[in-house]
Amino acid sequence: MLHHSELLAELVRDGRLSPAAGDTTITYHDSCYLARHNDVLEAPRELVSRETGAETLAVACPFCTVMLDDGVRQTGRDLRVADVSTLLVEAIERGATDSESG
C-alpha cells in the first residue's frame, strides 16, 4: 500500500507535477502511524523541503492535522497546519501562475 505523500513525491520526482517554491517557511511533523509504524519518512519531507522557523506546520495524517491544529489554536500562535497534499496543490498552482505571467 502506498501513502498519498509517497505517490505525490514520486510524481514530483518524475516531473509529472511541477510545484514552484514559495516564500513561507515550513516544518514537517512525523505522523505517528506514517513514520513510526509504516517507516515512511522521506516522501513527505521531499514535498515540503523541510525548514525551521516555520510559518506552516505540514502534516500527512488527518488525525495529526486535527490534533495539531487544535493544539496550535490553544496556544494562540499564528501557525498554519496543513496537509502536504494541500501545500503541493498550492505550489503547483503558484507554478502555473508564474509560467502564465512569465
* C-beta of residue 13 within 8 angstroms of C-beta of residue 6: no
pLDDT higher than threshold 70 for residue 48 = no
Separation between Cα atoms, residue 38 and residue 32, nearest integer Å: 9
User: Which three three-digit cell numbers place residue 47?
Assistant: 514535498
State the average pLDDT over residues 48-60: 76
pLDDT higher than threshold 90 for residue 91 = yes
Separation between Cα atoms, residue 58 and residue 86, nearest integer Å: 9
Would the pTM of this model clear 0.75, i.e. be above it? Answer: no
Separation between Cα atoms, residue 35 and residue 63, nearest integer Å: 14
